[in-house]
């Protein structure tokens, strides 16, 4: 079994640009990647590949195999899957709230394909037992795309329902969830820059000056 993490550092997370500078965002995605790798290892997955446009963007402390590929996300992942015969877990790098127990539960699934949906129709985690014939289709409603692809191949599907695993950090309000529920170094980084602002509605982040 292997895990693969697509990762892009340069000018990452542009939707956070209202609350973070380019340099802060690039540091932040590094922290989230380190959290995801640590969670995978704690969950029992030691064979980890990181696919990135620039290998130099991945720091040495990230203990993983680095694959440099600057092609489209779908193209690079489908090429990767076509070369594998063992079960593959695809996990996004912006999931610092995922816990090792989620990883253990997902890979223990008997389904051919286990999907963790993300916000707005996305796919946060995809566990594929026989990857050589499966093809991913990210962007847009990728959750529906992956369900359809599995159904067309007559593969059994499990939708893994988890608030924490479904919370990717893309927009300022997502940082609130990290402050409330996070435990790793991405949370530590966020806590140095944001406080929690409480009112009559939902908790929001309040940047420190």
pTM of this prediction? Answer: 0.95
Q: Which residues, listed in sequence order, are joined to residue 48 by a DSSP beta bridge?
A: 3
Query: What is the arithmetic mean of pLDDT over 61-75?
Result: 93
Work out the pLDDT band at 106, boundaries 50, 70, 90: very high
Residue with tokens 């929001």: 204
pLDDT in tens, 140-194: 999 999 999 999 999 999 999 999 999 999 999 999 999 999 999 999 999 999 9
pLDDT value at 60 more than 80: no
Question: Has residue 57 got a pLDDT over 90?
Answer: no
Q: Phi and psi of 158, rounded to 5°?
A: -125, 125
* pLDDT of 199 above 90: no
- Between CA 49 and CA 147 the distance in angstroms is 24
* Domain 2-207, CATH number (from 3.90.550.10, 3.50.50.60, 3.40.50.620, 2.40.50.1070): 3.90.550.10
Average pLDDT rounded to a whole number, residues 91-115: 97
Give the pLDDT score at 41.
96
Q: In what order do the strands lie in the sheet with 65-68?
A: 65-68, 48-52, 2-6, 88-91, 123-128, 113-117, 157-159
3-state secondary structure of 124: strand
Distant-in-sequence, close-in-space partners of 177: CB < 8 Å, separation ≥ 6:
97, 167, 169
Does position 132 have pLDDT exceeding 90, yes or no? no
Question: For residue 63, what pLDDT is reported?
Answer: 83
Cβ partners under 8 Å of residue 183, min gap 6: none
Region 109-131: what's the mean pLDDT?
Answer: 96
Higher-confidence residue of 68 and 63: namely: 68
**What average pLDDT is seen over the chain?**
95
pLDDT in tens, 148-158: 999 999 999 99
Q: List the chain domain ranges.
A: 2-207
What is the distance between the alpha carbons of residues 130 and 81, in angstroms, rounded to a whole number?
A: 9
């Amino acid at each position: 079994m292997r895990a693969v993490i697509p990762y892009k550092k340069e000018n990452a997370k542009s939707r956070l640009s209202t609350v973070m500078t380019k340099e802060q965002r690039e540091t932040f995605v590094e922290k989230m990647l380190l959290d995801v790798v640590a969670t995978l290892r704690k969950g029992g997955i030691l064979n980890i590949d990181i696919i990135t446009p620039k290998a130099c963007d991945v720091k040495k402390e990230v203990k993983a195999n680095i694959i440099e590929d600057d092609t489209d996300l779908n193209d690079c992942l489908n090429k990767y899957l076509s070369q594998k015969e063992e079960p593959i877990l695809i996990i996004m790098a912006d999931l610092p709230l995922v816990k090792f127990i989620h990883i253990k539960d997902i890979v223990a699934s008997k389904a051919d394909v286990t999907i963790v949906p993300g916000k707005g129709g996305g796919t946060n985690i995809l566990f594929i037992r026989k990857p050589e014939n499966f093809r991913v289709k990210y962007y847009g409603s990728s959750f529906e795309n992956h369900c359809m692809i599995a159904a067309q191949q007559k593969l059994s599907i499990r939708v893994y329902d988890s608030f924490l695993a479904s919370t990717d950090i893309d927009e300022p309000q997502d940082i609130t969830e990290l402050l409330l529920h996070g435990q790793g170094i991405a949370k530590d980084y966020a806590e140095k820059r944001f406080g929690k602002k409480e009112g009559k509605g939902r908790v929001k982040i309040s940047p420190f000056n």
